[in-house]
């Protein structure tokens, strides 16, 4: 997912540096919390995955805002699919 976000983040930062930074931090948070969750057990594990899912939703929101403001024309189908797959996996892990 991070690799697919690289070019959109650059484009977004040209139009709105703060939104680009927020997207970058949210994307990193997804990966870092998934890593932390995979090394945890019990309720802490689930909470880390929930945090990762919240950050993933923030990534989605940042992309929607960027599209609405015209910083990017349209998010690629590949990126959308990647984000959806991560969301589906995290959703299962948080149940």
Domains detected in the chain: 2-94 (1.20.1440.60)
Query: Which tokens belong to 41?
Result: 């057990």
pLDDT in tens, 29-80: 999 999 999 999 989 999 999 999 999 999 999 999 999 999 999 899 999 9
Does residue 18 contact residue 3 with C-beta atoms inside 8 Å? no
Span 12-17, average pLDDT: 97
Which runs of consecutive H residues, i.e. helices, occur in the chain? 2-15, 17-38, 42-69, 77-94
Does residue 33 contact residue 55 with C-beta atoms inside 8 Å? yes
pTM for this predicted structure: 0.93
Q: Model confidence at 95, in pLDDT bands (50, 70, 90)? A: confident
User: Can you tell me the distance from the alpha carbon of 30 to that of 90, in angstroms, rounded to the nearest whole number?
Assistant: 10
Q: Residue 88's pLDDT is what?
A: 95
Q: Model confidence at 11, in pLDDT bands (50, 70, 90)? A: very high
């Amino acid at each position: 997912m991070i690799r697919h976000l690289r070019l959109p983040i650059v484009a977004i930062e040209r139009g709105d540096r703060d939104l680009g930074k927020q997207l970058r931090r949210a994307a990193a948070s997804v990966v870092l919390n998934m890593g932390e969750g995979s090394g945890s057990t019990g309720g802490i594990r689930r909470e880390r995955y929930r945090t990762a899912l919240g950050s993933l939703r923030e990534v989605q929101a940042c992309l929607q805002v960027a599209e609405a403001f015209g910083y990017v024309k349209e998010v690629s189908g590949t990126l959308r699919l990647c984000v959806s797959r991560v969301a589906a996996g995290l959703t299962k892990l948080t149940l």
